């Protein structure tokens, strides 16, 4: 079988010149790498041996070797004429091994539904709006709360509210979660009528309010104290809607969209019993 010759210098750029190390003549165009039926060695440089095995060589192996040598001349600064095995291994790995970057995909997650646990205790109090109108339970047509100016003996008509305190599973800076009872099993609730949040009164067992989540949030309100005397109550189910009273006397207590809604009062004074 005829000997096969391949010149490494033919694959390198013609402008390639060693920086500071003189390479033996086997690196020049005049020295060939010889492959024969028997294993042979070609001394590229004292201390560096290129071993050619009996395994069939293909153009891809030769090209990889040429690319590695070509990159070495640009990236490696030789400090001496000797390389250790580890240094040679690192040089070839850095120049031949391709790096694959696997992107980390973060899928959007949805926040778990919050819930509220009763922590007590129940606090009894009276409340009145900024115009000193008190809350009165009216049963003329339907059971509802009205804001009425009371004096003297009529003050006995005031509704005694029961505030039950809760702890949220997901802490929020919106105030203290509470439920508002008006005696017995009657509680204030915020529901939607024709797409509009309205304040109502519902009968519900107190035990059913120990743990509140989902639609039961209609019984929850966030109590926020501003200054030292004024308190507001925002619906937990319909954010931005507050318990409010009208400027006019003897009107229904209802919900308003914002704390600054015109013709509605959303701040109350509490008298703790």
Query: What CATH number is associated with residue 120?
Result: 2.80.10.50
Beta-strand relationship, 176-181 and 264-265: unpaired
Q: What are phi and psi of 25, to 5 degrees?
A: -65, -15
Per the CB < 8 A criterion, the answer to whether 259 and 242 are in contact is yes
In a domain, 64, yes or no: no
In a domain, 222, yes or no: yes
| Structural domain range at position 160 | 115-272
In a domain, 176, yes or no: yes
In a domain, 158, yes or no: yes
Q: How many domains does the chain have?
A: 1
Beta-strand relationship, 161-168 and 40-45: unpaired
Can you give the pLDDT of all 273 residues of the chain as single tens digits? 445 554 555 545 554 444 444 444 434 333 444 444 444 444 445 555 555 555 556 666 766 777 777 776 665 555 555 667 677 677 666 665 555 566 665 555 555 568 999 998 899 999 999 999 999 998 776 789 999 999 999 999 999 999 999 999 888 788 999 999 998 899 999 999 998 999 999 999 999 999 999 999 999 999 999 887 899 999 999 999 999 999 999 999 999 998 778 889 999 999 999
Q: How far apart are CA 141 and CA 214, in angstroms?
A: 30
Whether the pTM exceeds 0.85: the reply is no
Burial class from Cβ neighbours inside 10 Å (0-12, 13-18, 19+) for residue 126 reads middle
In a domain, 84, yes or no: no
In a domain, 66, yes or no: no
122 Cβ partners below 8 Å, 6+ apart? 162, 163, 164, 181
In a domain, 144, yes or no: yes
Q: How far apart are CA 45 and CA 245, in angstroms?
A: 97
Q: How far apart are CA 172 and CA 31, in angstroms?
A: 79
In a domain, 134, yes or no: yes
Q: First vs last Cα of the chain: how many Å apart?
A: 112
Q: What are phi and psi of 258, to 5 degrees?
A: -135, 165
């Amino acid at each position: 079988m005829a000997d096969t010759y391949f010149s490494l210098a033919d694959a390198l750029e013609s402008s390639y010149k060693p920086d500071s190390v003189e390479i033996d003549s086997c690196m020049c165009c005049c020295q060939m790498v010889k492959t024969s039926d028997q294993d042979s060695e070609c001394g590229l440089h004292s201390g560096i041996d290129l071993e050619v095995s009996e395994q069939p060589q293909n153009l891809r192996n030769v090209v990889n070797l040429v690319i590695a040598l070509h990159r070495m001349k640009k990236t490696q600064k030789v400090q001496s004429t000797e390389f250790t095995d580890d240094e040679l291994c690192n040089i070839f790995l850095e120049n031949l091994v391709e790096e694959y970057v696997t992107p980390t995909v973060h899928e959007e997650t949805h926040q778990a539904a919050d819930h509220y646990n009763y922590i007590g205790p129940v606090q009894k109090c009276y409340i009145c709006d900024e115009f000193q109108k008190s809350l009165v339970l009216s049963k003329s047509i339907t059971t509802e709360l009205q804001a009425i100016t009371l004096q003297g003996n009529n003050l006995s008509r005031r509704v005694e509210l029961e505030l039950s305190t809760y702890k949220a599973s997901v802490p929020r800076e919106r105030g203290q979660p509470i439920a508002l009872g008006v005696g017995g099993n009657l509680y204030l609730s915020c529901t939607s009528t024709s797409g509009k949040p309205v304040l109502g009164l519902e009968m519900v067992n107190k035990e059913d309010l120990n743990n509140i989540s989902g639609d039961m949030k209609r019984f929850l309100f966030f109590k926020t104290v501003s200054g030292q005397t004024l308190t507001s109550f925002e619906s937990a189910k319909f954010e931005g809607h507050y318990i409010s009273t009208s400027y006019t006397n003897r009107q229904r207590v209802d919900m308003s969209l914002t704390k600054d809604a015109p013709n509605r009062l959303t701040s109350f004074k509490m008298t703790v019993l």
